[in-house]
Each structure stands twice: as C-alpha cells, then as structure tokens.
Chain A
C-alpha cells in the first residue's frame, strides 16, 4: 500500500518546484530533508534503481523530463513499486489536465497542481482516487465554479 510522507518536485538544477508534506515534521527537519536529498538524487545515474534509503525512511524518485519527483515513504509499510505507479498516475493526470505538461506549467500553475494532488492523494499520503478521469472531472468542475464566481461578480 502507499503512505507517502512527502512529495517534492525538484528541477534538474536543484530548484524546488513543489512540495507537500503528509506527516507532521518540524521546519528544521523538512529543510534538512530538502537540502540533503536534492543533491543525492540529482547525482544518481539514470540506470540506477529509483529507491534509496535516507535517515529512517526510504525515498522513491522518478525523473520525468527535467523534473524529479521525490517521494518519502514508510519502510516496511509502503510498496515501493506501487509508489512508482502513484507518481506515474500523478504525471499522467497533470499531462491530461495541462495538455502535454512541462516544467513551466507546474511553475506557473502550482496551485492547480496542488488541486490535482489533493484529489489524488489523501491526507495521510495514501491514494484517494485511482481513476484519472474522476480526478480531472472534479478539478475541472471546481475550476468552472471559480470562474462562475468571477462572472457573477462582474454581472452584479
């Protein structure tokens, strides 16, 4: 099963593009994780396996184009192979939403990315919805509601 501890999106240059924490940690711990993991993962060679051990937990990462998706998981509980599928699902969903997603889409629309993520992964870091269409449907309905709000305001 999956129970993510955190998800961090990092560019090839080591810039943080998105981060989401699913377990309570102190600001110091969070900063340390980001600081230590980024160079380690950027230095990994392409053919190496996507699972590494870090501190008391494991980290699963996967590179898509210029972005690294880094996920902390709970050892012995998490299924690392399934974690890779979760990452892939997330990428696919963004891909459909943005239409061929690229790093810039994520940089400029990070709040949309959070919206999608929150529909896919629930508060304890496990997967909330396995149907991609279902996720996208609800995100777009909420998007429409937002623009309706705006419309109403203009009309009134």
Chain B
C-alpha cells in the first residue's frame, strides 16, 4: 500500500469486494491516527494524512480523531498548511463543536493577516463555523474590514461573513451600521456583483430578524422599525435602479447566463426587496410602504421584459412571481403572475412545469379565477409522462374545481384515469378520494351523470379502490334521489358484466364486483319490474341468479369479503325474485357456508338461513331498502355514538328486538349515520361491528375532505371551536380536527360582524411545515353573523403555529381592510 493520497484512493477504488474495501479503510484509518499523534511528523506528511482524513470524511468514515490536528494546521505560517487546515476545519467541525473556542485566536490573527488570502480563508471559515460566542467575539474584526477595505474580494467575503454572524447573534444589530453599506454602494469601483451579493445577504439577515415574530418585542433595546428599518429603507431607490439596469442591459460577458445578465444577483435582489416589503407591512412602516408602487412597477417591467424561453430567464420570472404572491400585490400583477406560470406549463421543460404547478396550487386561494382560466394547460399536464408532474396537475385540478367547471374537469380526470396503471396507484387513490369528496361538497343536478362517473371510475380503476372508499361510493349511490337513476346505473353495470363476461371486467376488479353485488341486492326488483325493459334477454331473474352463483364460485376461496356481500344479496333477493327455482338456488348459496371455516361466514350463513325461512311479510321489514344516509352530523357526534350504540354490546338481543319491534330498529338505522349501507345489515345482526368501527373512525380522523356542506350553504360553528381572533369586523374560530403522523387538519371559521366581501386569507406556518390552503366555503362574501369556513392541511414537524392575514372589504367599502394575528396550538406535529 502506497503512502500518498493518490495511492490510497486507488487502493479503495481497486478493492474487489466490500470486505476488502473495509479492510483497506480500517487499516489506513488506524495508520492516520498513529501518524497524526506523532508530534515530530514533518508538515508535508501531516498534510498528506489530513488529506487522507478528508477522503475518509467523504466516504462517510469517522474522522473525529483528526479535528485538533486540522486546527493546528491553521496556525502554520505556510499558506499551503493554512489552506488545508481551514478546509479540514470547515468540513470536519460544525457549529456545535466545543473545539471552536480553540479557533478564536487563530481566526482573530488571520483576520489581521497581511496576506489577503489568509484573511479570506479566515472569513470563509468563520462563516461556516460561527457559534454565537465566536460571532460576538469576532464581529468587530469583520466589521473593520467592511469599513476599511477597498478590495472587492475581501469586502465580498467580509459581507458574507457578517451576514452569517448577525443571524447567529441578533444583538449585533445594535453595532451594525447601515452607513458602511451605503458607503460601499456609493463607490462604483468596488461595487462588483460579488460585493452586491454580499450586501443582499447582509440585508436579508437584518430583515429576517425583523420578520421573526419572536424578535418582535424590543427587549434588547432595539426599536426595529425606527433604528433599523427606516435607515435601511434609504437603500431602496438604489436597489430599484440597480435591479432595473441589470434586467435591461447585458453588457458584461462574465455574468451572462444564456443571454441573461447575472440571474443570481437579480433573484437575490428581488428576494431582498420582497423581504423589505414584508417587514414594512408587518411593522406598518411608511418608510418602506411608500415605495410599494415603485416596486410594483419594477416587477411589472421585469415580468414583461425578461426572456422566458431560457431557464435563466424563467428563474427570474419565477422569483418575480413568488414576490408578487407572497406580498399579495395588486390584482393586475397577480393575474400577470398567473399567466407567467401558465406559460411555463406550455414548454417542454419538466422543471418549469413542476415549479409552475406547485406555485399555482399555492396561489389558487388568492386568484382562483385567473388560475381556472388556464385549465386546459393544467389538464394537459395530467397526461405528462412524469409522474410527479401528473401528481401536481391532479392536486391543482381539484384545487380549482368548482360548480362552473365540474363537468369538464371530471371529464379530464376520467381521461387521466384511463391511462394510469399499477405504477401510479397513489395517483388513482388520490383521485378517487377527492372525487368522492367533490361529490360530497358540490351539489350535482344531473345525478345520472354522477353515477356514470362512478361507473366509469369502477370500470377503469376498480381494482385499486379500497373497501373503505367503496363504502363511500355505495353511500353516494344509495343517496341518489331518483330511483330511476339507480336503476339505470344497475342496468349499465349488469349489461357490461353479463354481456361481455369474457372481456368486460376482470376478476381482479373487486371494486366493480362489490358495487354490482350490492346494487343487485338493493335495486334489482326495480329493474326487473320495469315494463319497458328492453334488455330482458340479458337481464332477467335467471341470468342474475346465475351470475351471482358464478361469482360465488369464483371467489369462494379467494375473497371472503365478496362472499359476505353475496350472502346478503342472496338473502335480499329472496323477496325480490319470483321464480321458486332461483330462490332455491339462492338458499343453497347461503346454506353452502353453514359449516364454513370462516367463522364470520358460518355465523352469517346460519343466521341468514333462519331469516330466509321467515314469512315474506317479516322479511320485507328486515330487508327493506336502505334509508338515505346523512353524513352531516357524523363528526361531532361520532364519539358519543360509538360508546352509546347498543348494537355492539348486545348482538343476541338485537335480533329478537329487530323481529319484534321494527320501530326501534328503524330508529337505529336512521341515526346511525356513519356506517356504510352494506355494513348496516351486518351491524343489525351484531357482527363485524368491532372490526368495522375503528376503520371508519380512522377514516374520519384522517379525512382531508372539507366538512360536507350542511344544508347547502349554512356553515355551522362546531361546539369545540376555539376563538382565536376577535376584532371589530369579525371573529375567527379554529378547530383542530386531527393531528398525527406529521399531518394536521385544521378548520378556520370566519364569523362576520357586518358584511364582509372578497375575503382573502393568507396563512403562514413555520419553515419546517408545509401548508395547503383550501378554498373559502361557501363563499368569500359573508353576511353579518354568517360563517364561512376554510380548511387547512399542515404537514411537517414542529409546533403548530399559524400566522393569519386577512384582506377584505367591509360593508361594501371599496378600500381593503387588513387584519393579522398569530395563533399557537397546543399541539406539536
């Protein structure tokens, strides 16, 4: 084994097996450790060993034993040692290390080093390794360079370093002097792009301190608005001019990126300016806000003049759009922003599509109609080859969905579903979940069409739908008002199933089968009694009975869930069919499971058999068509009901209860809202209760659907909602519906005290969390004492905190009223 770094790397690369590689690394690691301990090791050897140590670092090996040695290298007079020493220190140490105190002196010395590169190394490393203590101790030295140096290279480094130090220890704001920056900006010869980047960084650090609510109280004796922000605002004009020049001219080839002049600096400047106005609005500082119109004009010019065909130009446009929406600038700008994003969707580049869809999703609550206008492009992205683009397009499609585009969008979604396969299972499940929610929250006049949608869904992606969602679909079918619509639905199901048995629906399509079996049990008498039945050749008592028998044979060993459904349907058919032969066949089906090894099936079979032999008049009562299911009250009363419900406790009594007193059972059936229709019968007999219930509960807690519209448009304030904001114009309440496994679901209720129109809400969450904001329901206009609701989904980690900003027009007045408040929940994600 050679002794140079090169041969070490070669040896590691040449290792034939993982074990060989491990052996080489362990051996070399031990060798480095011994060598570094030797105080008389010549510098050159020492360097080689530190370099090897860095290679170990890249490989992910332990390197702690070399930390002190790297620091010692910095003290050397030789530049080559110093450079390597600093490199090693920045890689091997981090901000939390105790060893950093060892560095203080060396850094201090090097910050005054006659060689500017030694100074620059010290500045860079101080930036990387700045603990609050180091920041306090060394800031004056860094400031000294900012004040006195005329070398752009050093200035740039010092500014970057100072930016980091200020963010580490905010009390440094007291010393920070904005005039140093003004002086640099006024000296054209030293104001290179690098220096400007450094200045944007220092301004960002200072502004971010103003933006952090925890620094809001001036307990440090700093009056941020007056002492910091207002002198800072003197730079605004200068920034506007510089940014404008950068954007319109491109004369320096060194900064050119695909024909755009320094997109890096342009983006940093836009971002910095955005921070200015964010802080300005927070503190209501006119020093800053007076320039808002200028900023809007500038952004408009950038948005119109920047070349949008290249990635570098798109980066600037994207930054502009982000600024527009995070400041919620005027409506023409917002519309311009949306159309820029829409243009991104047309191109071939998937990255621009990605950022566009992502951003559009965030701005839907601010500019819903403008986003809806670009529905075609969004739908187009549903057909993209890239699954992450499809996912984003899907989310956005549901976000812009409303009554006006419901039919068109769902058509697009059907086209989308038709093309999905196993790989995009997540997308399919997402679509189905949201489709069900959509039909819960939106009233559709043409229910026939609605059922056709589900027919299509079942046909296309039935195998991917889980049982829980099938229950939801059955509820929707059951709640359809017109019997004829249900009849039509069943007819279509049957025609497809019976007619093209060979090619129509595969045996894996459990979703389709379950729905079909359930519908046969519920509606087949309606279908058979229909005199105009033109498909009598295909659909008749025998064909249905035989089909049920075929299914039973098909799934008898593979899927007991389906068999359960078949048994119930067979029982129900016993009062719906006329032919004694068919009825006997059905009885045989039920009897067939009397000694099944599946306990559940066995019980069901035996109980059903007893019921089967009851007189028709008795059976009719028991087997009556399912009542309509209300989902409204389910949330609030859910808990109470689970504990109170007698069904789960006294299964045996219930059967007799049921048979004796049908009024009582009716009552149970009617109040027991949150159980799927098929389960209801099972429940009445007291089976499966325990397994079913937690499943449904689980679903309700994790739901991401808005609360189903109760009585169309009147939102009712739930009793557990806590008041989080109270002002002259409105009250805001919040309920935390769920918070687990990194996902919280919150609902905000806005109760108007007088007429509020065009309500816009902006919410912010801590950095580690992601927020998805739902639309306002029922509308953004609230009459006095009415309530409007918005759902929020927060994913991520950390404490649940919200900052909410509200823009609205009060009593029809043309001017916008702003309100802002923070709320902390007691929950941590």
Contact = CB atoms under 8 A, between A and B. Distances in A.
Interface of A: 1-2, 16-21, 24, 31, 34, 47-52, 56, 74-77, 79-82, 84-86, 89, 107-108, 110-111, 114-115, 118, 122-124, 126-134, 138, 141-142, 145-146, 148-150, 153
A131 B197 contact: no
Interface string B40-60: 000000000001001100111
B767 interface: yes
Contacts of B768: 56
Contact of A81 (B79, B95, B204, B351): B351
A118 B157 CA distance: 11
B351 A80 contact: yes
Interface residues on B, range: 35 or more
B350 A47 contact: yes
A142 to B, nearest CB: 5
A1 B262 CA distance: 12
B354 interface: yes
B350 A49 contact: yes
B242 interface: no
A110 B58 contact: yes
B268 A149 contact: no
Contacts of B797: 56
Contact of B164 (A1, A123, A129): A123
Contacts of B708: none
B257 A85 contact: yes
A82 B194 contact: no
A130 B124 contact: no
Given A85-B264, A85-B312, A129-B156, 4 more contacts: A49-B350, A82-B263, A128-B194, A134-B192
A130 B83 contact: no
30 contacts: A1-B270, A1-B272, A16-B58, A16-B59, A47-B350, A47-B385, A48-B386, A49-B354, A49-B386, A51-B354, A74-B767, A80-B351, A84-B311, A85-B263, A89-B257, A118-B90, A123-B127, A123-B160, A124-B127, A124-B164, A124-B167, A124-B201, A126-B201, A127-B268, A131-B194, A132-B254, A133-B254, A142-B79, A142-B83, A145-B115
Nearest to B771: A76
Given A49-B389, A79-B319, A111 B87 contact: yes
A115 B160 CA distance: 17
A128 B156 contact: yes
B58 A108 contact: no
- Tell which of A18, A79, A150 has the most Cβ of chain B within 10 Å: A79
A31 B9 contact: no
Contact of A130 (B117, B255, B767): B255
B501 to A, nearest CB: 38
Contacts of A142: 79, 83, 117
A75 B157 CA distance: 26
Contacts of A80: 318, 351, 354-355
B255 A131 contact: yes
A130 B197 contact: yes
Contacts of A50: 350-351
Interface in B738-770: 767-770
Interface of B: 6, 9, 13, 51, 54-55, 58-60, 78-80, 83-84, 87, 90-91, 94-96, 115, 117, 120, 124, 127-128, 130, 153, 156-157, 160-161, 163-164, 167, 192-194, 197-198, 201, 204, 254-255, 257, 262-265, 267-268, 270-272, 311-312, 314-315, 318-319, 322, 350-355, 385-389, 767-770, 796-797
Nearest to B59: A16
B257 A134 contact: no
Contacts of A49: 350-351, 353-354, 386, 388-389
A145 B265 contact: no
Contacts of B90: 118
Contact of A19 (B58, B79, B127): B58
A131 B193 contact: yes
- Tell which of A16, A82, A153 has the most Cβ of chain B within 10 Å: A82
Given A124-B201, A131-B193, A16 B255 contact: no
A20 B160 CA distance: 18
Contacts of A56: 768-770, 796-797
A79 B266 CA distance: 12
A52 B769 CA distance: 16
Contacts of B95: 24
Contacts of A20: 91
A81 B13 CA distance: 35
B47 to A, nearest CB: 10
Nearest to B90: A118
Contacts of B311: 81, 84-85
A82 B315 contact: yes
A128 B60 CA distance: 27
Contact of A108 (B6, B264, B769): B6
Nearest to B10: A108
Given A129-B197, A130-B265, A150 B80 contact: yes
Contacts of A86: 264
A134 B156 CA distance: 12
A1 B267 contact: yes
- Tell which of A1, A34, A146 has the most Cβ of chain B within 10 Å: A1
A21 B30 CA distance: 26
- Tell which of B128, B167, B265, B353 has the most Cβ of chain A within 10 Å: B128
B3 to A, nearest CB: 16
A81 B318 contact: yes
B53 to A, nearest CB: 11
A146 B85 CA distance: 13
Contacts of A138: 117, 120, 153
B207 to A, nearest CB: 12
> 3 smallest A-B Cβ distances: which pairs?
A123-B127, A49-B350, A81-B315
B264 A2 contact: yes
A52 B358 CA distance: 12
B352 A145 contact: no
A62 to B, nearest CB: 9
Contacts of B124: 118, 122-123
A144 B186 CA distance: 34
A81 B768 CA distance: 21
A144 B319 CA distance: 39
B58 A79 contact: no
